[in-house]
Amino acid sequence: MKKLIHFYYREDFGHEWNVQILNIRGWSFLQLSVGWNDYAGWPYLQFSMGSNGLLNFLSWVHRFGLDVSVLSRTWKVDYRDETFDDDLSDE
């Protein structure tokens, strides 16, 4: 049985908390990501529609980041871990 809400946490040059709500066949109704980075960055604000979903909002201020996606492709949580594991096994 699939979960209605999927929550996960990642620590990589900071802290990142993610929530995915109602995942169906590679699509999510709502995805939220809140992050606190170890390194500060320039502030920016981005709105997008249509490229990977219906609506996306991305904001970054100093060390705090926020990402909200509505009706978009589901973020693959372990993609980075799988990629790094493959790179290490080749050595």
- 16-54 residue pLDDT tens: 999 999 988 888 899 999 999 999 989 999 999 987 889
Res 23: pLDDT: 87
Residue 84 confidence (pLDDT) above 60: no
DSSP line for 6-72: EEEEEESSEEEEEEEEEEETTEEEEEEEEEEEEEEEEEEEEEE-SSSEEEEEEEEEEEEEEEEEEEE
Res 1: pLDDT: 47
Please state the pTM of the whole predicted model: 0.73
Res 12: pLDDT: 83
